[in-house]
Amino acid sequence: MCSEQMRYEYPLTADSIVLYVGLHKGTFAAEISRRYGCVVHGFEPVGSFREEARAKVSAYPKVCIHSFALGSVSIDAATISVHGDTSGFHGAPGEQTQACRIVSLAEFLREHNISRVDLLKLNVEGSEYDLVEHILNERLATKIVDLQVQWHPVVKDFQQRYDDLARRLGETHALTYREPWVWESWRLK
């Protein structure tokens, strides 16, 4: 069982690097930065969410907000669905959309010369399956100390995909807490 408090309890320091994918309105980024003073890269392609996040983290100079999505592939011209207070690439027909850019995690790490991610937080409304597959296929898992994921049952064969990814993650990481379809966290062995 995962308490809300557990989502913020990691062995981070001022030298740690956190990647927060699905920044939304920046609540997690502000709290992690307040607690640990670490570098936080937040990724939010939706302009209205990003602006709210900027206001929320303005007191934390080590939080860098990127206006693109972090994903499994780089795409210069993608479309993201926005529905009320959520967004994602698995939206329903007829939802409001906006153009965005996606940068692959592997490319981002290379471009920013990041060899270790102390915490990777994923809340990406169904795109977590592709992103975790990318991490495993590109052999990036050992560069990530802690991986916090909110899995969403919105993609085809989600249970089978989750089971496969959990098995594969278990080769390098140990599950530290799990609240099914809410939050779970994996730590590098």
Kindly write down the DSSP assignment for every residue of 143-155, as one continuous string: GEEEEEE---TTS
Read off the amino acid at residue 7: R
Domains of the chain: 11-188 (3.40.50.150)
Q: pLDDT tens digits for 107-122?
A: 999 999 999 999 999 9
Residues 89 and 68: their CA atoms lie apart, in Å, by 13
Residue 43 structure tokens:
């990724």
Per-residue DSSP letters for 57-116?
HTT-TTEEEESSEEESS-EEEEEEEEETTEEESSPPTT-EEEEEEEEEHHHHHHHTT---
**Is the distance from CB of 129 to CB of 162 less than 8 angstroms?**
yes
Q: pLDDT tens digits for 138-154?
A: 999 999 999 999 999 88
Residue 50 structure tokens:
């990003």
| Weakly modelled stretches of the chain, pLDDT under 50 | none
Q: Rounded to 5 degrees, what are φ and ψ at 96?
A: -65, 140
Q: pLDDT tens digits for 172-182?
A: 999 999 998 88
Residues 21 and 6: their CA atoms lie apart, in Å, by 18
Residues 51 and 138: their CA atoms lie apart, in Å, by 32
H or E, element range at 56:
helix 47-57
pTM attached to this predicted model: 0.92
